[in-house]
Each structure stands twice: as structure tokens, then as C-alpha cells.
A and B are shown apart, each in its own frame.
Chain A
Amino acid sequence: MIEAYTHTLLMIDLSRTAVETIPVPAPYVREFIGGKGVGAKLLHDRLPPGTDPLSPENMLMFMTGPLTATMAPAMRGCVVTKSPLTHTFLDSYFGGSFSPEIKYAGYDGIIITGRAERPVYIWIDDHRVEIRDAGHIWGKDALDSNEAIKRELSDDTIKIAGIGQAGENLVSFALICCEYNRQAGRGGAGAVMGSKNLKAVAVRGSNPVGVSDPQRFTAACKKAFKELEASPDVEALRDAGTASAVEFANETGLLPHKNYRNGTFDKASKLADKGQRKHLWMGSNACMGCPIRCSKIGAVRTGKFKGIVTDIVEYESAGLMGSNLDISDVRAVAHLVKLCDRFGMDSMSTGTVIGFAMEACERGILPSPKDVDLKFGNVAAAEHLIRAIAQRKEGLGALLAKGVRRAAEEIGNAAEDFAMHTKGLESPAWGPRGVSGMGLAYMTTDRGGCHQRGFPLAYELGGEWEDKKLDPLSTEHKAQLVASLQNHSAGTDTLVKCDFGSFGISTETYAEMLSAAVGREITARDILETGERIWSLTRMFNIAQGLDTSQDTLPKRFIKEPLPDGPAKGHRITKDDMATMLQEYYQVRGWDTKGIPTEETLARLNLTQS
């Protein structure tokens, strides 16, 4: 029978050029479902404490979930590894068609270890696996190398995940490009790939992926499609992707401006959907099988940067590469983001790093590079830095390529005061000073300061969650809210869902699709409980890898400097606020006052062996 799971992992050791398949251990599937969960379990069990993320020993995993590659709408895949940026657990999600192809080739996941002697790429054609020379592709950018491999293998339907120059040069926020305009973006997975001398993984899969009960499954998918259609959030995404969030963030005072000094930007509307519609968009784009189609695709037709084909400048990039740098020409932002895409660098981290450098230069503690004026609003300076970082050129490029935390440490001179990161992961484009729950989410996310493992601000600004009244500025109820959202996120990331799909699809419907697909009854509660289990597991992993829990904190700017503008003007998240929320949060999770899961909690979650 054709199943939703392939029950097989493909293991590739590049040091020994050894390829083998192993079955996915049944308890892993039972306790952790797939995607993030199984990835976290594998990493936890197999990676020795203190492993250098860029050493051959680190594991680079491309994981799918039981619903990936089926008719279930809005599903993705994820990369799981130890991050060179944060030295913590890293899961990074990608849409497109690469993850379904892994399943079609016959695998639930691909695990890559070791380091090839010279640059290689991996060619997986169903059960045939070949490690091929990539000497002639090394040095090419993410898109050109994709094309070169397709030409070499004479098939442009092959799906490829690969790195650009930034990954080759071990830039600590390099990404993995999962063609086109889909990336495992955050946390530096591209550098891990580069450290293995691995340029790309190319996959062609010809096997069908089935479900256990087709009738029930089709009915559940229909329900999911219906829920998506009924959701106003989904409608907004379909209409304008995430770009419409720019105006929203500006109105609520959460939009980073000038390295997060401010929360509003007077030219925000130019970066929002209206500006993009006028200057860029031509059509819509979707990941395989997704009816939301959140991407807008287009081209810059006029001005200095004309000719480039570009995806939507999604909210995070518009915020961090636009408003955060005081740049309002959306074509220029599209150009900068496209450069990052080609080099294969996370445009979020890059934006934050450049904003940091601009501020440091204005404060006179970082010398400006020759010939460019490193100051806010200067597109040429941003472009200069992107090129320098990706190629680790000049002292400055090499310094910033280490990420904002390490760069601030090396610069000294209190640069840490305006280095915007949590646990080393550069902050996302939602300043949390007006929404304290968002601050708590950044403090506690397993992969470092991230907005995607729980997005409480929607409830905080909405004023309500599960019949509780919420005040965005207060600390009340925030611990329960954040923990609950994180459990939901981790639980559904085992499927592997897209966050936008979950705006519409209820946990019950996910559970129904999952049960029908795998032939085992799994309830919404089970999914949430799995999420909770994963959250304590990744915590254990991080602690075993040396995480000091005092890092559950916020960038100093959010703690010390009151927000100068917007509706929450004058507010900051004080040390007391942080401590209150954090202790409450640890309690909700069943962790001790230091943030370490207690024996009872581990037993309750069936994690004792871990």
C-alpha cells in the first residue's frame, strides 16, 4: 500500500561518501509525528553536546511531515540542524516543491553529515544517490547554480535546494535556497551546508505518496479548503501577501525604523502593498498545492534597478531592509533583497546587521568603508555591505558576517546596547515594546528571538484571548498565551504546516487530515501535547549544548529605551516585566526557576529517556 509516511530516512555521510537508508524508529513517529518533532528528536539523540555547528559532525536534515506532498493545503518542509548563529536548535521552514519531491523520491527525510573533500552536490533520483563534483558550480550564486545543475542533469523539473556564495563563505546567517523565492531562511543553515562543502541537493522523485483512508482524507481536505476560504486573514494574504502588514505595523508603532530606535516610519506606505502593486507585482505565486498563494511575483520595470524579476518584498524584508534602514524606495529594497537571495543570505538578519553597522558608524565606533557613506537611508552603502558580507570582503564584511552579536562583542564600546538579537538571532521586524507578550515570545523561542513560533501580538492588540481580556502593555496572561501558541506552532510544525495555512485551518481539521492520512487516531489535543513535548525536548537539547538560560532575554534597546513614538510611546519592557513573565512562563511549562525542565515534567511528557 502507498502510505503518507515512507518510513525511510536517507543518510549521507560526505566524509566517507557513504549512503544508506534507515527506517524511522516507530516510537519517534508515535511521539513526535514528523517534521520538527522527529528532526528535534534525531538531533537531540545523535548530536554530541558542544558540537561545533560548522564541524563535519553537525547534522543537516531536510525533513518532511506526514502531510507534506499530499493534497492537504499549505504544507511545507523544514531544515533541522544546530545553528552557527545561535549555537542552539534550529528549524527553518521552506515552501515550494522541494519538500514534496523528497517524499516522492521515497524518503521522510534526508540527513547529511561529514564534510566532502572538495565541493560536491548530491543527486537523488529516487533510490539512486550520487555525490557529484561541484567544482565548476562553486562560486556561482543560488539561482545560477540551480540553473547549471538542471542543465547538467538535462531536466528542468528537478527540485533543488542549494546555497549561494554566502553559504560557501560560512556567513553565519546564510540560507538555503529552495527555488524559487522559497528559502530555509533563518539561523544560518546555509553556512552548515557550506561547511560540508555541499553546494546543492537535487531531487527527482517518481513515486506516489498515499493516504490511509482516501475518502475521509479528501473530505478533511475539503474542510480545510473551506476554512481557508472563510478566513479574512487568508483573503488578505491572497490579495497582498504580507506587504499589507507594513501599514498595520506602522499604525501600531511596531515597525522598526533606524535600527529599531523608532516604531513608526513616515514613508511606510511606499513600502506597503500599494507601493509594491504599483512598482513590482504582476501575478501571484504559490507553493505546491497551496490555495493561499501568498506570493506576488513581478519585475522592476523602471528606474535604476529595472530588469530584475522579484517576488513580493514580504513584510519582514520591507521592515528590516526598508524602513529599518530608512529606505523607502520599494524598488531599491527589492534590489537589495534580490542581492541577498542570490548570494543566499537571510535578508532579515542582513537588514538588522546593516542597521547595526549604520548606527555604529554614526556613533563613530565603526569606521565607514572607503568611498561609501555608511549612514541610514543610503542604498549604495547597504548594497556595499551586502556584497562585502557575502564574500567576507574587507575587515568589515568578515566582521558583520559573524552576525550582530559577535560583531558587537568584537567592536566593544557598548555596541551591545544597540545590537538587536536574542540568543544571537537577529530580531524580526516587530518591535515588541508596545506588545509585551511578543517580547516574551522572543525571549523564549527555541531557535532564538523569532516571531514565528508564536505570534501573540495579534491577540494582544485584539484585546482578547480565550475569554481573557488582554492589555498589550501589561504582563498579565502573557505567559499562558505564549506557551499555548508555541505548543500549537510546534505541534503543527510536525505535519509540516505553513504558518499562513494555520490562520484558517483549525487544529481539529489538521488532526482530521492527519488521522485519515496516517491511519491512526490523532486528536487536536494530541497535536498540542506533541507541541509541548517538542518544546521541552528542544529546551533540553539547547541546555545540553551549553545554553545559559540567562540568555532568555531581550536586546538592551527594548529594555532600556522607551519607545519614542506610536500608540505605545514611552513604553519599554523593563527587567521586572521580563522577570515576571519569564517566571510565570517557566511555571506554565513545568520548568524550574532557572528555566530547566523538571524531572516530573519530563516524565509527564514521556521524555525521561531524553
Chain B
Amino acid sequence: MACSFDLFGGYNPRLARLSILNKNEKLYHLPVVCNQCEQAYCLTVCPAKAIFRKEDGIVHIDQDRCIGCGLCARYCPIDMILMDPENKKAYKCEMCQGQPLCVEACPTGALELVTPVKTSSSPENRSNPEAKFAPDDRETN
């Protein structure tokens, strides 16, 4: 809700940059958010080089370069890229400059922002904030 409002000035979870996955008659529900993947398929497949990673590890889309081909959305494994119905360009979760609105709006604590401890296997470009999501029961997107 908070996310779609930020983007479009109105509420609609379908427009939000995160989603809630429901399974088995809603016995399970999991928030799904962009992983800011190490091997980001969205970034790899973009023919216009509109997708890039900033130093903090977050994967961004430069809408000025985006040509709206939709390849990124097609190859993201968890459908975390959306196409703007108005300008027909791609958009995704860019972590709201480090202060995610969804985390702020979440009344249950299902969403929180955590800074992972660096381990030997973690790539050097992912030492910064990243969202961790615990399963809970809201549809607050």
C-alpha cells in the first residue's frame, strides 16, 4: 500500500514493488521482495544497459535509458520487475534510498531492514543494508 502510494499517489498492491505470495488456501503467505541478486538476471539481460548496481549493492533502473522491452521482467525469477502502466518503462524495488516505506508501514514487524554480517562467502559489494523478510500474515504492500 505504502509502496504503490509513493509511486502513483494511490493505493493498489498490484502496482507495488513487493508482493505477498499466498499458497494452499492462504495457509501460507510470504512477502516476496527483490533479492538485489548477486547474479541479477534482470541486469544481465537488459539490452539497453539501463540496469546497474550501485556501490551499496542495490540494483537500480535508469528509466531514461529503459526502452520498455520487458526482458528484465521476463527473466526475473520472482517477478520483482513491474512495467509502469503510464510510461511503459520498467521499475523495481531500489530500497527507497535505504529507508524502505514498506518496513516503516509494516505494523507486525514482518518486514525489517537488516545489515548482514560479512562472511567469507559474501561478495564485497553486498556488505550494506539488505532486507530480510520473515513470513507473517499481512498484505500491506
Contacts and interface: CB of A to CB of B under 8 A. Distances in A.
Contacts of B22: 180
A2 B86 CA distance: 14
A225 interface: yes
B138 A286 contact: yes
Interface in B9-46: 9-15, 22, 24-29
Contacts of B73: none
B5 interface: yes
Contacts of A463: none
A601 interface: no
Nearest to B14: A206
A104 interface: yes
B12 A206 contact: yes
B107 A214 contact: no
B48 to A, nearest CB: 25
A284 B26 CA distance: 10
Contacts of A209: 10-12
A424 B15 CA distance: 44
B25 A206 contact: no
B108 A291 contact: yes
B14 A205 contact: yes
B26 A297 contact: yes
Contacts of A2: 8-10
A403 interface: no
Contacts of A377: none
A410 B141 CA distance: 53
B137 A284 contact: yes
Contact of A181 (B26, B29, B107, B108): B26
Contacts of A297: 25-27
A232 interface: no
A375 interface: no
A261 B103 CA distance: 52
A286 B108 CA distance: 12
A284 B136 CA distance: 8
Given A283-B137, A286-B139, A69 B11 contact: yes
A207 interface: yes
A298 B26 CA distance: 10
A603 B139 CA distance: 44
B26 A104 contact: no
Interface centre among B2, B10, B24, B140 (most CB of A within 10 A): B10
A70 B5 CA distance: 10
Contacts of A610: none
Contact of A285 (B9, B13, B26, B107): B26
A396 interface: no
A550 B131 CA distance: 63
Interface residues of A, number: 35
A157 B1 CA distance: 16
A69 B13 CA distance: 9
Interface in B83-141: 85, 105, 107-108, 136-140
Nearest to B23: A156
A386 B12 CA distance: 39
Interface centre among A104, A211, A214 (most CB of B within 10 A): A104
Interface residues on B, range: 20 to 34
A219 to B, nearest CB: 14
Contact of A208 (B4, B29, B105): B4
A289 interface: yes
Interface in A30-72: 69-71
B27 A282 contact: yes
Nearest to B19: A157
Contacts of B29: 285
A143 interface: yes
A504 interface: no
Given A71-B1, A71-B5, A205-B14, A180 B26 contact: yes
Interface in A132-177: 143, 157
Given A71-B1, A180-B25, A297-B27, A157 B137 contact: no
Contacts of A229: 107
A309 B27 contact: yes
A345 interface: no
A299 B137 CA distance: 16
Given A181-B26, A282-B27, A208 B12 contact: yes
A133 B132 CA distance: 44
Nearest to A288: B139
Nearest to A341: B25
Contacts of B1: 70-71, 289
A278 B105 CA distance: 32
A286 B110 CA distance: 13
Nearest to A73: B107
Contacts of B27: 282-283, 297-299, 309
A543 to B, nearest CB: 40
A208 B12 CA distance: 5
A309 B107 CA distance: 27
A596 to B, nearest CB: 43
Contacts of A289: 1, 139-140
A293 B140 contact: no
B15 A206 contact: yes
A297 B27 CA distance: 6
A319 interface: no
Contacts of A104: 12, 14
B8 A208 contact: yes
Contacts of A207: 10, 12
Contacts of A299: 27
A225 B107 contact: yes
B9 A210 contact: yes
Contacts of B13: 100, 288
A97 B85 CA distance: 22
Interface of B: 1-2, 4-5, 8-15, 22, 24-29, 85, 105, 107-108, 136-140
Given A206-B14, A209-B10, 16 more contacts: A70-B11, A71-B1, A71-B5, A71-B11, A71-B105, A97-B139, A180-B26, A181-B26, A206-B12, A208-B5, A208-B15, A210-B11, A211-B10, A214-B5, A291-B107, A309-B24
21 contacts: A2-B10, A70-B11, A71-B1, A71-B2, A71-B11, A71-B105, A100-B13, A104-B12, A180-B26, A205-B12, A206-B14, A209-B10, A210-B11, A214-B5, A214-B9, A229-B107, A283-B27, A284-B137, A291-B107, A297-B26, A298-B27
Q: Which 5 A-B pairs have the closest CB atoms?
A: A208-B10, A210-B10, A2-B10, A208-B8, A284-B137
